[in-house]
């Protein structure tokens, strides 16, 4: 990585620290300190290879040989990114989300550009915007929305932007960037990333609109696009919370909500050249809508509940990981399930309804006991398993002769004694109950 450090002129460091010298921002992008930070982040994010097949592990070796030439291309304004690789991932609510995966080298350059721009732009963004910003989180967005509801703003204008990342107008976006960036080399580079094209099934298609999800620069550009919406909502004095393309505006009556939906919808369509998804947008009570996986209760303090969709997706995910046809042992099944539960608990444990977590925790344990009963398979093995786990022989014999199915038995005293929470915990199954 010695070549990446480079020997940039003294002005480069000043450029990275001084927003005033906006005509030499590419030197800040190419500075050794900025590139080392970008490489570390790309390595931490991991991710798959792009169209050239280069992996994240191969990137440092490649840079050691090629960085001087790449740096020169960036400084001369001649760097040309490669097309992104199309990847489709299923959406939790159905359908697929199309991602565009840049090459690891392009991810490094995008990350370096993003770091410099974000350092200058972020402080100018609205305090009501929370997505893809340093020091801000989805939990903060949910808490802010909850506060609006608790303050008596008991109607929400829930606006969903249809295929936002695919519909961003390049010319409007670049005009917004040009208001903040005077370095023409950097402007050409950002335009080149937008127009790099998409490779799908071996064919490259041009991209004349949208910011492909999957690159480090896309979230920052999306915030820049929607900053215009934030400013308009601020100008109108609305109480709102925005996380990426999820925007909730809180008002005090249904009539006001409908008026806001119409006027803001017109602004989004006519001014931003984006489209509101009428089927997914609505004026409703906060407890009738979800925001970032949560909904708010009807009591005056509007407590955070898990959205019904969140609970449904949780159960679907657990069922998929504990399916009877997986052919895995119980221990092998619990490994990935445990990792999923820890990640889920880290985010959704932010709810203020411990009984919901307790119910789901009990359901997961019951699911594991059901799978264990199925895997024990034969009456003889089931008897042996129950007795070896402390169940009296007579009770074990009665249990294996019962006509009840595995799911009903998973709730029985016998299975709870044979596989108590302590045994499941020893197998690696974490709890998601409120602590």
Return per-residue pLDDT of the chain as tens, 435 residues.
444 444 333 333 333 344 445 568 999 999 999 999 999 999 999 888 989 999 999 999 999 999 999 999 999 999 999 998 887 777 766 666 777 889 999 999 999 999 999 999 999 999 999 999 999 999 999 999 999 999 999 999 999 998 887 778 888 899 999 999 999 999 999 999 998 877 666 666 556 666 767 889 999 999 999 999 999 999 999 999 999 989 999 999 999 999 999 999 999 999 998 999 999 999 999 999 999 999 999 999 999 999 999 999 999 999 999 876 666 788 888 999 999 999 999 999 999 999 999 999 999 999 999 999 999 999 999 999 999 999 999 999 999 988 899 999 999 999 999 999 999 999 899 999 876
**Rounded to whole angstroms, how far apart are CA atoms 318 and 337?**
7
* R_g of the chain computed on alpha carbons: 27
Q: Provide the b/e sequence for 362-380 (b: ≥16 CB within 10 Å).
A: eebbbbbbbbbbebbeeee
CB under 8 Å, gap of 24 or more: what pairs does 198-203 form?
198/83, 198/84, 198/85, 198/86, 198/100, 199/51, 199/83, 199/84, 199/85, 199/86, 200/86
Residue 198 phi, psi dihedral angles, 5° rounding: -125, 130
Q: Using DSSP, state whether 403 is helix, strand or coil.
A: coil
Cα diameter, the chain: 84
Return the closest-CA partner of residue 309 out of 93, 62, 67.
93
Q: Both ends of the chain: CA-CA distance in Å?
A: 45
Pairing of β 198-200 and β 84-90: parallel
Q: Note whether 326 and 318 are within 8 A (CB).
A: no
């Amino acid at each position: 990585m010695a070549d990446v450090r480079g020997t940039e002129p003294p002005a480069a460091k000043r450029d990275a620290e001084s927003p005033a010298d906006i005509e030499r921002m590419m030197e800040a992008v190419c500075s050794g300190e900025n590139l080392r930070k970008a490489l570390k982040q790309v390595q931490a994010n991991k991710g798959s290879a792009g169209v050239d097949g280069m992996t994240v592990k191969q990137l440092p070796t490649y840079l050691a040989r090629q960085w001087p030439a790449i740096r020169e291309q960036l400084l001369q304004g001649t760097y040309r990114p490669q097309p992104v690789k199309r990847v489709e991932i299923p959406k939790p609510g159905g359908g697929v989300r199309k991602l565009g995966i840049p090459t690891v080298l392009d991810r490094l350059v995008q990350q370096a550009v993003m770091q410099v721009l974000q350092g200058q732009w972020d402080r100018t963004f609205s305090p009501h915007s929370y997505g893809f910003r340093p020091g801000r989180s989805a939990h903060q967005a949910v808490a802010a929305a909850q506060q609006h509801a608790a303050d008596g703003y008991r109607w929400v204008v829930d606006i969903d932007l249809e295929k936002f990342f695919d519909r961003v107008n390049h010319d409007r976006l670049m005009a917004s960037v040009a208001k903040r960036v005077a370095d023409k080399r950097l402007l050409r580079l950002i335009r080149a990333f937008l127009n790099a094209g998409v490779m799908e099934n071996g064919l490259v298609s041009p991209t004349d609109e949208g910011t492909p999800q999957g690159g480090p620069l896309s979230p920052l550009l999306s915030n820049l696009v929607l900053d215009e919406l934030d400013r308009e909502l601020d100008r109108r004095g609305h109480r709102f919370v925005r996380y990426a393309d999820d925007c909730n505006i809180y008002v005090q009556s249904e009539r006001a909500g409908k008026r806001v939906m119409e006027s803001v919808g017109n602004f989004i369509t006519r001014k931003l050249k984006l489209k509101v998804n009428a089927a997914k947008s609505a004026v409703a009570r906060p407890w009738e809508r979800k925001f970032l996986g949560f909904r708010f209760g009807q009591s005056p303090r509007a407590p955070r509940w898990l959205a019904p969709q969140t609970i449904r997706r949780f159960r679907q995910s657990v069922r998929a990981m504990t399916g009877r046809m997986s052919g895995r042992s119980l221990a092998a099944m619990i490994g990935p399930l445990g990792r999923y539960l820890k990640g889920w608990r880290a985010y959704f444990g932010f709810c203020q309804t411990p009984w919901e977590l307790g119910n789901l925790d009990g359901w997961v344990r019951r699911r594991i006991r059901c799978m264990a009963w199925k895997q024990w398979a034969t009456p003889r093995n089931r008897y042996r398993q129950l007795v070896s786990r402390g169940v009296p022989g007579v009770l074990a014999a009665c249990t294996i002769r019962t006509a009840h199915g595995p799911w009903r038995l998973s709730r029985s005293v016998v299975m709870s004694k044979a596989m108590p929470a302590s045994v499941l915990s020893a197998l690696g199954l974490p709890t998601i109950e409120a602590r």
